[in-house]
Each structure stands twice: as structure tokens, then as C-alpha cells.
Structure 1
Amino acid sequence: METGSARGAQVAGDEPVWTGLPPGLLRLRRLLLVVWLGALAVAAGLLLGLLVGPAWAAFALLPLALMAWGWGMVERNWRSWRYAERADDLLISRGVLWHEETVVPYGRMQLVEVTSGPLERHFGLASVQLHTAAAATDATIPGLDPAEAERLRDRLTELGEARSAGL
């Protein structure tokens, strides 16, 4: 027995077919990391160098070291995000240290939104937000291609209406 979606198709009893996030989200997050920590390094270097002395300006290397470490961590976090469409529910998995997997039954979905802020639009990204009756099970899939986000929204809405009509 197979589901109707080619992207989320799976055979009953098998492992779900996971879909990862596109690389645009990784580029966006790395850009934000470089901009914020780069600005912090410059500000720390200038302020410490001018106010305390040139030797203290070496503390500006701390944000740069944090940037180097964060570069790899951002990628690990990006790789941890994935989702799978199953026959009766949507799975969302994320997390490196604390792995979290959310199962959202189609019949429990009340609202499916596609959002895209200014930076997301610049990078050609959109997020899908799922709202259910229980606030604790609200879930988000960030950084999708807008066409995929709209396809997912339409599919989830259709499946949600079909499942809730059967209650």
C-alpha cells in the first residue's frame, strides 16, 4: 500500500522516506553567524584596543574562534532537520545533542501556514508551520523551497480535511 505523494511515498511497514532541508537554509544561517560574530569581533577589537590597550584587543579573537566552531555546528544542526510524510501523519525530526521527533497526525491539524521573512525571501526559502489543537504539538519545518512549502501545505491541508471529516 503506497501513499499518493511521490516525494513522501513509502510502503506500509517500511521505514519512512525522509526529506532533508535544502542548502539555502545552511547558507542563510552561516551568513548570519559570520555577520553577527564578525561585527562582535570588530567592535570588541576596536573598543578594547582604544579603551584598554592594544594587547587587550587580542580578546577579539574569541568571537572569531566561536565563529569557526559555529560554522561546523550550524551544518550539523542543518543536517539533523528532516521530515517524512506517512499515510496518517507527518514526522519531523531535528536535533544534534537533544534529538526530537514530532509526530503530527493529519486529522489533528487545524491550520497549515507558509511564512517567509525578508531574509528567507532573499535566499528563496519558506517555512511551513503546523498548528494543532494542542499547542505543544505545533511544529515548523524551516528553510524549504517555496514551491515545496506550498505543495506540502496543500497536501497537509487536503489530508487534514479528509481525516477530520471522518471523525
Structure 2
Amino acid sequence: MDDLFAPSDVSWTPVSPKLAAARRVTSAILCGVTAIAGLLAFGLTLSWLYGGLWVLVVAAGFAWSWSLIGRNQRSWKYAEREDELLVSHGIMFRQLVVVPYGRMQFVDVAAGPLERSYGIATVELHTATPATDAKIPGLHPDEASRLRDRLSALGQAQAWGL
């Protein structure tokens, strides 16, 4: 079954571990805001005891998300073949997206404020069919730029043959 999601005839490139760090910061902010809001809501309406229990539940959720974020980051990988790009990710629900270079319409590179502070970017490939769009998060900006230029050039060269 693993051959279905990770063909052995390609050399896979993992994404940066900084992706996990950026996602953990996002998770910490969300959990912190949720804990404070719950603490205030429970404390003002019911009891501070319920507020304290709510904070413990949110802390347990944060600890669980911490480990899942690391596992998810390690599952992201991509490979460049002669005629197509392969992107694989997922732990429980694994996904392999194969995008033929000739079917690409355009390539986006995006980096939000948190991604920029961690020195990572996301490359997104768009095709005519949204189901075959692919996204590769957690790339070093130089690698994202190189990949964008290479995929654009290959897409343009392959599209001429259609």
C-alpha cells in the first residue's frame, strides 16, 4: 500500500522543519485566545472552577496538536519527474497529487507574515481542474523561487506540445 503513495522510482524532497514551528505558533495563539475567552466566560457566568477545567482541556488539546503538527510536517514531500510533479502528504488520510507540467496554468508563491518571519514560503500549482491543484508549504524562499521558475518553464514548454 505504501507504494501507492510513495513511488520508489523518485527522489523525494522534504519540506522545512520551520513549517512545524510556524504552525505551532499559530496553534499556541489560537489555544491561548480560546483558553482566555473560556476562562472569562465560565468565570463570569458559572464558576472559576469550570474556567480552570476549561483551561486544562485547552492545554491538553494544545499538547495533542503539538505532536500532530510535527507528524504532519514530516509527511509533506515532493518530487520532480520528467513530465510531472508529485506532492505527497498526510498521516491518517494520505494524499498523492500528480500534476503533469503541461496541465499547469499558473504557479503561485505565497508567504504570510508568520511564514516570512520563519523564512518559509508556499508554492501552489493551479490547473484547469481544482482537484489536481497542489500546494507545497514550508519551502525555503530560494527553493520556492527556483521551483516556481522551473515549473513555469516546464509548464510552458509542455503546453506547447498540446
TM-score (norm 1): 0.87
Root mean square deviation, CA, Å: 1.5
1:105 corresponds to which of 100, 104, 108 = 100
Partner of 1:50: 44
Off by >3 Å, runs of 4+ in structure 1: none
For the residues of structure 2 that align with 1:80 and 1:44, how far apart are their CA atoms? Answer: 33
1:21 corresponds to which of 8, 15, 22 = 15
TM-score (norm 2): 0.89
Q: CA deviation at 1:59?
A: 2.3
SS in 2 for 1:97: coil
For the residues of structure 2 that align with 1:91 and 1:155, how far apart are their CA atoms? Answer: 14
Partner of 1:36: 30
Partner of 1:4: none
**Gap runs ≥5 in structure 2:** 1-6
Partner of 2:84: 89
For the residues of structure 2 that align with 1:113 and 1:54, how far apart are their CA atoms? Answer: 48
For the residues of structure 2 that align with 1:96 and 1:149, how far apart are their CA atoms? Answer: 24
Q: CA deviation at 1:64?
A: 0.6
Partner of 1:120: 115
SS in 1 for 2:70: helix
1:156 corresponds to which of 139, 145, 151 = 151
Moved more, 38-47 or 151-160: 38-47
For the residues of structure 2 that align with 1:133 and 1:36, how far apart are their CA atoms? Answer: 35
For the residues of structure 1 that align with 2:69 and 2:86, how far apart are their CA atoms? Answer: 22
SS in 2 for 1:87: coil
Q: CA deviation at 1:14?
A: 5.6
Identity %: 48
Partner of 1:5: none
SS in 2 for 1:71: helix
More helix by share: 2
Q: CA deviation at 1:101?
A: 0.2
